[in-house]
Homo-oligomer: A and B are copies of this chain.
Amino acid sequence: MKNEKITSREVDFGKWYTDVVKAAHLASYSSVKGCIIFEPNGYALWEKMQEVLDGMFKKTGHSNVYMPLLIPESLMQKEGELIDGFAPEVAWVTQGGEKKLEERLCIRPTSETLFSDYYHTVVKSYRDLPLKYNQWCSVLRWEKETRPFLRSREFLWQEGHTVHETQEEAEVETKQMLKVYETFFKDYLAIPVITGKKTEKEKFAGAEYSLTVEALMYNGIALQSGTSHYFGDKFARAYDIKFKDRNNQDAYCYQTSWGSTTRMIGALIMVHSDDNGLVLPPKIAPFPVRLIPIGESEAVSEVVACYRHLLEEAGIAVEVDDSTKSPGFKFAEAEVRGIPLRIEIGERDLKENKITMVRRDTREKIFYDLSCDIVKEVKAVLDTIQKDMYERALARREKLTFEAHNLEEVKAIMEHQPGFIHAMWCGDPDCEAKMKEIKGTKSRCILENEKAIDDHCVVCGKEAKYYVVWGIQY
């Protein structure tokens, strides 16, 4: 029996996705075109992601700051590639109060300019370096087509911006933050990712190079899920960020930036969820456990209170659904909202000295003796769910990962069932353009230190230089 409010994933993936967003009360459309409202369940997921990532950022020596929302046009224009990349998609403030502004201000689409301007004023000596800052904020990009969490005019994100004395140190930072994202996806979101370098065409405007974390959704469409950019001294030259080096000589510093966004919520949905709604990995669920009392007896209340106490003491966040709704309604709600584990406690079961746990991922019922060590059992089941979810996502990705040796093969794969395609590339942007003609297939990233699968480019047949993973992206 499936949730009636949710279109089947196999029937219409796009409709299924928005149905899940709606049914799980993650977000709703607003009266502001292209902007969504993060409802409590959706925002709680973001808060949990923030908590974990913020801890990882702080552990790697980063501090949070907050830069202004608005950027004067002249400041934005100092670095040419950045403004060229973003100009078509920023929103402009032209009026403040009742006065027309002398210079228009854009709402930040990203904050390299403001951080660089700040670094220009505070970095004087190598002793001031490195500065490793991050900010949590909203950004705005005037997108035409929008889809909740995946693409909207306004979205929430974090953007790290660091400035270093040497190229080496900045490059180490770029790689380190990519690794942080990879770990977060694997260990918390239970999503396997591939990591590598973007091609020249796909890199961030203004970067020397961009590293990326790429995930594959259940339907075989790829999602760029986090990026880490190395800027070299490009921004330092544009914004004049100079310092006295160890030899007391003027030198430009080296910068990085790295970001991840609320589209990670979209990834969670599209990798793990099913026709019954959201499915959350225990380690990212705001409440991994929900206790559901059935009926109103004193014995039931006592067990619920006791379990709650024990689980909370053990550091497991627990919700209790003590509403007056029917048990069936409560189960369905826990299910559609993706609560990893629900524990049903009813008088009939208690008389038989048992309780029932239901895993959300497999919908499997597990019966326990009332005298069991509840903390130990719950921990074990949650660990298993987390591990199984990752394994299932990995198996799905492997099933949808292909090799191609020529354009015909790429076409056959992408038209039949898209996925990641491993194929060699000569490095010519024209060949990238030809791949794009096949249902929008783009290079996702270049893998390094990978054994070549061919000696020729998948498109033109000339000598291959790069091992590339290709995909159709959201």
Contact = CB atoms under 8 A, between A and B. Distances in A.
Interface of A: 28, 30-32, 35-40, 43-44, 46-47, 63-72, 75, 87-98, 104-105, 107, 114, 117-118, 121-122, 133, 137-138, 140, 142, 154, 156
Nearest to A144: B97
21 contacts: A30-B68, A30-B114, A32-B68, A35-B69, A35-B70, A37-B65, A43-B65, A44-B63, A47-B64, A69-B69, A69-B107, A69-B154, A90-B97, A91-B95, A91-B97, A92-B94, A92-B95, A93-B94, A95-B104, A107-B107, A137-B138
Nearest to A99: B142
Contacts of A63: 40, 43-44
A390 B280 CA distance: 45
A97 B93 contact: no
A15 to B, nearest CB: 20
Given A43-B64, A154-B68, A31 B117 contact: yes
A97 B142 contact: yes
Contacts of A68: 30, 32, 35-37, 154
A142 B96 contact: yes
A71 B67 CA distance: 22
A105 B140 CA distance: 13
Contact of A94 (B44, B67, B95): B95
A30 B97 contact: no
A46 B63 CA distance: 13
Contacts of A72: 31-32
A133 B89 CA distance: 31
A121 B97 CA distance: 30
Given A93-B92, A95-B92, A97-B90, A67 B117 contact: no
Q: Which 4 pairs across A and B sit closest by C-beta, in order of nearness? A: A35-B68, A40-B63, A38-B66, A97-B142
Given A43-B65, A156-B66, A28 B121 contact: yes
A386 to B, nearest CB: 25
